[in-house]
Chain A
Amino acid sequence: MEARAVARIAVLRAPGTNCDRETEGALREAGGDAVTVSISDLESGRSDLSRFAGLVIPGGFSYGDRVRAGAILAAKLKTSLRGALEEHVSRGRPVMGICNGFQVLVELGILPGIRRCGAALAPNSSARFESRWVRVRRTGRCPLAAGPDVQPLPVAHGEGRVVLSDPGCAEELESMGLIAYKYARPDGSPAGGEYPFNPNGSAADIAGLCSPEGNVMGIMPHPERAVHRWQVPLAMGEAGGIAIFRAFVEAASRSARVRGARLSTAI
């Protein structure tokens, strides 16, 4: 029988990351060979990013979210792992940042990834931590965005309001197909900024962004908490999170096939 190749995916952990276990579990559920790798292992060279076909930065409060959500982890990645990360991204290998991971990708400037537009994740417009289930609509043309057109996902964050540097940016991101997910009403229509459908006041109802190359996605809600039907409150609908992880594993496998060497495990 022919051996099947399973993409190796790194789930990055820093002090204060706290969604790594369930994120790793979701990736495995989706067929990936996910392992949690700590930032200190990467910094010391005990682990090497180039050996992974995909990178996921999970949710949590990296470094206690001191300074700003995700700021310190982003600074560390910038100083000690800039080259490795740039190489990973430029080779087309997928990267996904969830919640705090999205904040990190924005802090790094990898997202939104178009020169004219900067972004930041600001404190929620409700001025408090928001823990609730919302619905998101899949929009744009991001290969990493998957699942049904509209799906329920939970959010849990204090700083999730996407703010863009220029009023024209939302339209530009939209027209380029880089808004991966938007907060929606129960019937799937746009939240239109209305709380609580848009839980944080994000510009253009942005819940997730995609890089122009299509291999980096940041998403504020937590798909790893919506992998199984039993995790989703009854009235919210079906579990769609698994599709996001399947799409990621697939993208990682594709990039591993293209680039070859030791990025997958034969099983």
Chain B
Amino acid sequence: MSPEDARAVEEHFAALGRPPTYAEIRVIAQLWSEHCRHRTFRGRIVDPRGEVLADDPLSTFIGSVSAAPWVISSLRDNAGIVELARGYGIAVKVETHNHPSAVEPFGGAATGVGGVIRDVLAVWADPIALIDVLCFGPPGSPGLRGALSPRRVMEGVISGVGYYGNNVGVPTLAGAVAFDEGYVGNPLVFAGCVGIVPPGGYSKDPRPGDVLVLVGNRTGRDGIAGATFASSALPEDLVALRPAVQIPDPLVEEGLIRFISAARGARAASGVTDLGGGGLAVAAAEMAREARAGCELSLDSVPLREEMEPWEILVSESQERMLLSARPGGVGRLLRIAGAEGLEAAVVGRLTGSGRFVARFRGEVVADLDMGFLFNPPRVTRVASPPALPAEEDPQLEDPPDLGEALLRLLASPNISSRDGVIRTYDTGVGGRTAVYPLEEPAGGHNDAAVLKPLGDGWEGVVISVGLKPRYSRISPYWMAASSIDEALRNNAAVGGRRWSLLDNFSWGSPERPESMWSLLEALRACRDFASAFGAPFVSGKDSLYNESALGPVLPTLVITAVGVIPDVRRALTSSLKAPGDPVYALGVTRAEMGGSEYFELLGVRGGVVPRVRPGESKRALECVIRAADEGLLAAAHDASEGGLAVAAAEMAISGRLGMDLDLTRIPSEGALADRHLMFSESNGRFLVEARRGSERDLERLMASIGCAFARVGTVTGEGELVLRGRRGALELGLEDLESAWRRGPWRGSPC
């Protein structure tokens, strides 16, 4: 607890004329944590002179761009909800589980998956897909003293994600794995879940007098004080922190999934929430607040695994537990539904009209707190000031002597190479709803987004994609965030997704560092600007601050998740080339924007100009792909991202086991560009598409009418070669060489 918070608590209890109990202090600490109350995002941000830069940045930059006709619930509940079709809602939530995964990678990642599934259950949804975005130190690098090596962390996290998702029967369908030295001290684990709410299924009306029912696992001493742990820097001795990490049990979670579905169908509960950070105390307090009421908990009734102190029962973060409210007459039915799924359930209290949070244990009141006080921690003030950033100038480099060699090295680099070794350890088909898999068979090329068909009686699909460009934050956190949004949307559009909704997940260093605070504010500003420009509302998000280690703050990382819809999954596109003779088009404008690129990383160049986002240009390119897909003019589409158009072309060729002959000089571009720019620049808003032979005229007419930049750049061939004709002559690269470079991933030889 900060000195300001401690003072506020002292004053509050001085006015009451009694000291706080130990349980009360623990409950306050959890509820006032950064994790639970977003103190920084709800605070005041000032510059070093005290000038206010932002007041309540969450409302200013995210809340202001959270509405759209398809939004059913945004930024309020445990997950955002948007409409799929005919009253069916798509629920979506992405969480961070960084600290636990650094300490105990397997358990930390597994409980991260379990936790986010319960977030989606907590809006009455049936989970249908999981998302995971993982950020690690370079696989070969040593770890910090007292911490696991990046490779050990990676292997543990990947097997934890697979273990939980596979067991619980929800396919892991979208995500990313990113490597950078900025993650050596602070690996990041973002776990997300998408669910479906049937028409009328989302209903919450907890009222005073309702009974509180705790369902699922027994409560134990694991995960004590996780929310406060997640809101502080990582200390050097991580092993001592093991008790703060929870124990996963997917078997119970599977029961909870069925239980929630049954309880929803029977309308057996008036409210539901999950037990996450801060445990029972936070869940009960939040439900009481939703009911504009108070609550009374009887801690003696909580099923325990072991003898526990009352404060421990209140804040334990034991996994696989949900809290429901029911009208007094309906409790029996709710308990029977839980019993039918083999779950333990207990009445642990009730909602009251008192406006107080009360907990009793063995006849004694161990906590009696005013709800208004609990939910109104002192507002924090953070100072933001820009660090010294490199000037954005393109270093005047030459083309490398062998551009083909550079392409092969890029394909083999950790951030581009095949994710086969990760994704194939995840069940991607359970549920039978997968229409576009993350890996395209048989070669296993990466698709830009996953598509699910959740409804038995409709062709509508849910399209899930992510975007992240953490390296750009070294140069410009603003354009980093803008580019992440552009990437998430073009990944979504590349398979045919549209009508997007966004999620923001920030993993940053301490907001008490003025330069961290400044970059956070820059990224938030970009979120508002580009969500607004693209017409894609933010419906959910999460901030994980205090990602600090002995190596300093984590590389500021914003993960943007985009959820789109497609009217007919049969029209969805994949990224693999389909047929020799098909024409290939480049969409969007290439510029000399190499700052933060994989190409510069390969050369060890830091600095340069990071890609801008020109929303008009990007939107036209997105629209071209979507409309052309709808009209059946395209056979494949892939966005140009890490490694630029050359890598995109190679990936499409590897995935389809077909060649391509491309004239780089025809790529729509701006400025005087050399071959290296045309091949490797990471300008936003670009795609490479394969048109169906014979559709050229219709496609060109469509693209001209939309006004996007496009050019026919070549043809699909059956030659087994990627030919890239540039200003300095033609490169001819055999598919086998491209593929073997691409498969040289960092996890080769280390099955998880």
Residues of A within 8 A of B (CB): 15-16, 18-19, 21-22, 25-26, 40, 59-61, 63-65, 126-133, 152, 154, 156, 158, 186, 222, 224-225, 227, 229-231, 233-236
Contact = CB atoms under 8 A, between A and B. Distances in A.
A61 B162 CA distance: 13
Interface string B421-444: 001111111111011010111101
A133 B428 CA distance: 10
Interface stretch (B14-22, B249-257, B682-690, B700-708): B249-257
A152 B429 CA distance: 13
A132 B441 contact: yes
9 smallest A-B Cβ distances: which pairs? A18-B169, A22-B432, A128-B751, A233-B441, A156-B427, A133-B441, A64-B251, A129-B425, A61-B167
B501 interface: no
B251 A63 contact: yes
A16 B167 contact: yes
Contacts of B162: 129
Contacts of A65: 167
Interface residues of B, number: 39
Nearest to B435: A230
A32 B62 CA distance: 50
Interface of B: 162, 166-169, 249-251, 254-255, 342, 423-432, 434-435, 437, 439-442, 444, 453, 456, 569-570, 574, 576, 578, 656, 751-752
A235 B436 CA distance: 12
A64 B167 contact: yes
Interface majority SS (helix, strand, loop, mixed), chain B: loop
A266 to B, nearest CB: 24
A25 B429 contact: no
A126 B168 CA distance: 23
A243 B569 CA distance: 23
A130 B578 CA distance: 26
B751 A236 contact: no
Given A61-B166, A231-B435, A16 B251 contact: yes
B425 A128 contact: yes
Given A132-B441, A230-B569, A233-B441, A16 B254 contact: yes
B159 to A, nearest CB: 9
B751 to A, nearest CB: 4
B632 to A, nearest CB: 14
Given A16-B167, A63-B251, A129-B166, A231 B426 contact: no
B442 A186 contact: yes
B576 A222 contact: no
Nearest to B437: A233
A156 B442 contact: no
B576 A235 contact: yes
Contacts of A224: 432
25 contacts: A15-B251, A15-B255, A15-B342, A16-B254, A22-B432, A25-B432, A26-B432, A64-B167, A126-B751, A128-B425, A129-B425, A129-B427, A131-B424, A131-B425, A131-B427, A131-B429, A156-B427, A156-B428, A222-B429, A224-B432, A233-B442, A234-B574, A235-B440, A236-B441, A236-B442
A60 B169 contact: yes
A21 B453 CA distance: 15
